[in-house]
Structure 1
Amino acid sequence: MLKRIPVEQVRLGMYLHSLCGSWLDHPFWATSFVIEDMATLDKLHNSPIREVVIDTSRGRDVDAAPLAGSADEERLKAELRQAGDFPHASSQPSIEQVSLDEELQRAARILSQAKREVSVLFKQARLGRVVQADHFKPLAQEVANSVLRNPAALISLARLKAKDDYTYLHSVAVGALMTSLAHQLGLSPAETEHAALAGLLHDLGKAAIPLEILNKPGRLTEAEFDQVKAHPRAGRDMLVRAGVQSDMVLDVCLHHHEKIDGSGYPDGLSGQAISLYAKMGAVCDVYDAITSDRPYKAGWHPAESLKKMALWAKQGHFDERIFQAFVKCVGIYPTGSLVRLQSGRLGVVLDQSERSLLLPRVKVFFSTKSNTYIVPEVLELGTAQTNDRIVGHEDPQAWGIANLDELWTGIPGRRP
């Protein structure tokens, strides 16, 4: 039986059928799940959501007697898991989360290592050798662990890749984004690790594209684009010859350019014919591609890119629910974004907040009123300590800000 109740009446053991309000207002990807612990309950109570719909046939009723204690709580959890109502229970490895500052240096080292290893992989493929794909499993695990410790560090650093490094670091960035999205979707540890590996290897087929086409600054001819469209199948064939047996890795490599409306390539799949993993790969691939500097264009700002992708999702390019989950990974204002606050100050986004996608942690450093730099200050938006809020994103070039990346990484001249 479904009941609509105020959020204040939600208790442990209730099954949330749906959350009443915009998906932007609540801190969860899933809208149907069991409230199993106090951390989840507190997160719901502290969110803007004011009403929920519970399913009393799948969880505790609002009139049920209170739990007697921890033993009853654990018994309830066990019963719910046995009934299949806990699909994501203990789905992720226990990895301690750390601050952005703590993870940045480690993420920079992983990027440097990954750049070397992926460049060797592509050179092997261009020479026609059988690639050593198994060699990348430890690297995939390193990428996954970094993202689970702090997703913003590796994902945001990878976005700062130089034009000449795009081919190699794009693979690393997509691996990191796939990891974060897998975690957001509640996939198992094994699936999360495979997602990281799929991201690292998804574009291997580009090694079969002549460099003059791959790096062409102008518009491709129809014949040249046909060669580009052949890269997913070429990559999958390379991975099969290398002995890769992961269905996820092979599928993401082959189908990450498919679109929900059937206009993608190489097979023109549509809707449910595209696997969850390929849908994930499509979103992660496009986001990194359009936010990165390329030989033929400058990358778009992260917030602007998400707006473009939201439009493309409505037009049938992406699965909209997968895209919404992706936004929860990177934030409405991703780390490294330049934003304008209501006070007239400019700031760079440091970290996301569990309270709301619209309330990230921001370092303000510039006054638009006096057109000058000010003493940097870190603001925890949405807390009692500050009444300021974000009113939009800004273009750093429009304000002559050349050191934006240094301001949030703390690393002078940061380029992977």
Structure 2
Amino acid sequence: MLKKINTRNLQLGMHLHELCGSWMAHPFWRSKFTLTDAEDIRRILDSGITEVWIDIAKGLDISGATLEEAKRSVTEVLVKAERVPGVEAHTPASMSDELRRAAMICAKARKAVVSMFQEVRMGKAISAEDAGELVDEISSSVARNPGALISLARLKTADDYTYMHSVAVCALMVALARQLDLDQQGVREAGMAGLLHDLGKAMMPKAVLNKPGKLTDGEFHIIKNHPVEGHRLLVEGKTASDIVLDVCLHHHEKLDGSGYPDRLAGDSISLFARMGAVCDIYDAITSNRPYKVGWDPAKSIRKMTEWCKGHLDERVFQAFIKSVGIYPVGSLVKLGSGRLAVVVEQSEKSLLAPRVKAFFSTKSQTHIVPELIDLSHPSVTEKIVGREDAAKWAITNLDELWAT
């Protein structure tokens, strides 16, 4: 039976069902667990959260509570439960507005995934349901402006790759699912699968996982076991859906049967696993890794187009391009005038005409006053003539340019 109580009445032995208030204020990655450590109560009080839901069927009740109070609490939570997570309308936001919110979500999400991986390494079972709030927050951001959180999550350090990769793939899966016109449940399943697809890496030796150089055949064999380990962990948690389990196990399969762990081919690979493969590869090659610097987003799209045949589902990949753009946010492009510009936002009118920020003249080889240009506007004659390599022009602040 569920009951809402003031956080001042929390006691060890109570089973938390939900922390009230904004998810951003929550001090934990999950909200359903039994309080066994006084430090956890202190963290809740310090967070500013004033009320929580407890489940008195799974833990201690508040002393002196009456049956009528309990009945009122149950009625309140049942009314709340009628609202389906993630289906409320999300007002579209500009890139600049959503970047601020997305930065906070990324920071919170990183801590949440770090905590999740730590619990796995400590032998604790992971409940997929507990990640629901995190998936909902990421989904809401993507609904308001898909480019913001996806682009910020790409700016991970090599040390943060394992954790922020999960966040980035979650966001990419949500955006792709929306592009494929999946229903709300399908979008949420895709996001959950993206967040948990690499859980098995928590069981990989850190020396191998974070190795700065090329892996030996033996080390690669170890890493290739992470889908199986992740699947095992989620099965033990007993709450992951068949879709989440499938993506975790099969996001490294290839259409020609050369993938792993089961060497599935063609129609044996589900739609969601095909989606997971595309999103996983894109974030991997655009991110800085311990052994290499990430590629420019536009270069990554071009490379994936070359790899697509035999490896990736072409229909899914085309939908993915529509969701992130032919020139994704952060891409360095050359305009017809000879100016270099960085892509700052996609246009609903054309994949070839995003909003860009021109900042460099290739003719004078000097930086110029930055100018925002909507290439899709009827009065604009500028157009993209190709992508450019930042290193060629000694440009080192590209990410600062699009993110500010």
Candidates 170, 188, 212, aligned match of 2:183: 188
Q: Distance in 2 between matches of 1:341 and 1:122?
A: 44
What's 2:399 paired with? 405
Letter in 1 for 2:279: C
In structure 2, the residue matched to 1:234 is 229
**SS of aligned partner of 2:211:** coil
Tell me, yes or no, if the aligned pair for 2:128 and 2:240 is still in contact at 8 Å: no
Structure 2 distance, partners of 1:297, 1:322, is 27
- 1:94 aligned to 2:92? no
Kindly provide the amino acid, as one letter, of the partner of residue 167 in structure 2.
Answer: V
The answer as to whether partners of 2:94 and 2:145 remain within 8 angstroms in 1 is yes
Q: Which has the higher contact order (CA 8 A, sep 6+)?
A: 1
Q: Number of matched residues?
A: 319
Aligned residues: CA RMSD: 1.3
1:16-68: CA deviations, max 9, x gaps? xxxxxxxxxxxxxxxxxxxxxxxxxxxxxxxxxxxxxxxxxxxxxxxxxxxxx
Residue 153 in 1 paired to residue 141 in 2? no
Q: What letter matches 2:250 in structure 1?
A: H
Q: Aligned partners of 1:349, 1:263: CA distance in 2, in Å?
A: 35
Query: Which region of structure 1 is more displaced relative to structure 2, 340-349 or 223-232?
Result: 223-232
Distance in structure 1 (CA, Å) of the matches to 2:389 and 2:266: 36
Identity of aligned pairs, percent? Answer: 58
Matched, 1:251 2:246: yes
Matches within 5 A, 1:340-351: 340-351=334-345
Q: Extract unaligned runs of 5+ from structure 1.
A: 1-90, 411-416
Matched, 1:317 2:317: no
**Aligned twin of 1:216:** 211
TM-score (norm: length of structure 2): 0.77
Q: How does 1:311-390 map to 2 (within 5 A)?
A: 311-314=306-309, 316-390=310-384
CA distance in 1, matches of 2:179, 2:105: 22
Q: Deviations over 1:307-327 (max 9, x none)?
A: 11111112x110011001100
Structure 2 CA distance, aligned partners of 1:95 and 1:271?
A: 36
Q: Is the 1:92–1:186 Cα contact (8 Å) retained in structure 2?
A: no
Q: Are 1:396 and 2:390 an aligned pair?
A: yes
Distance 2:206 2:375 in 1: 46
Give the superposition deviation at 1:124. Answer: 1.2
Deviation at 1:222, TM superposition (A): 2.1
Distance in 1, matches of 2:115 and 2:376, equals 46
Q: 1:321 is paired with a residue of what secondary structure?
A: helix
The 8 Å contact of residues 93 and 189 in structure 1, kept in 2 or not, is answered as no
Q: Distance in 2 between matches of 1:92 and 1:323?
A: 26
C-alpha distance in 2 between matches for 1:245 and 1:385 = 51
Deviation at 1:236, TM superposition (A): 0.8
* Residues in 1 aligned to 2:240 and 2:389: alpha-carbon distance in whole angstroms: 44
- Which residue of 1 is the match for residue 280 of structure 2? 285
Q: Residue 386 of structure 2: SS of its match in structure 1?
A: strand
Q: In 2 relative to 1, CA 117–400 (structure 1 residues): closer, same or farther, beyond 3 Å?
A: same
Shift of 1:373: 1.4
Structure 2 residue corresponding to 1:204, chosen from 199, 204, 207: 199
Give TM-score, length-normalised by structure 1: 0.75
SS of equivalent residue, structure 2 residue 369: strand
Question: How far does residue 191 in structure 1 lie from its aligned partner after superposition?
Answer: 1.1
The match for 2:260 is: 265
Deviation at 1:352, TM superposition (A): 1.0
Contact preservation (8 Å) 1:313, 1:319: yes
The secondary structure found in structure 2 opposite 1:163 is: coil
1:164 alignment partner, SS class: coil
Question: In the alignment, is the contact (CA less than 8 A) between 2:121 and 2:202 conserved in 1?
Answer: yes
In the other structure, the counterpart of 2:296 is 301
Q: How many Å apart are 1:201 and its aligned residue?
A: 0.5
CA separation in 1, counterparts of 2:130 and 2:311?
33
**Partners in 2 of 1:153 and 1:96 — Cα distance?**
14
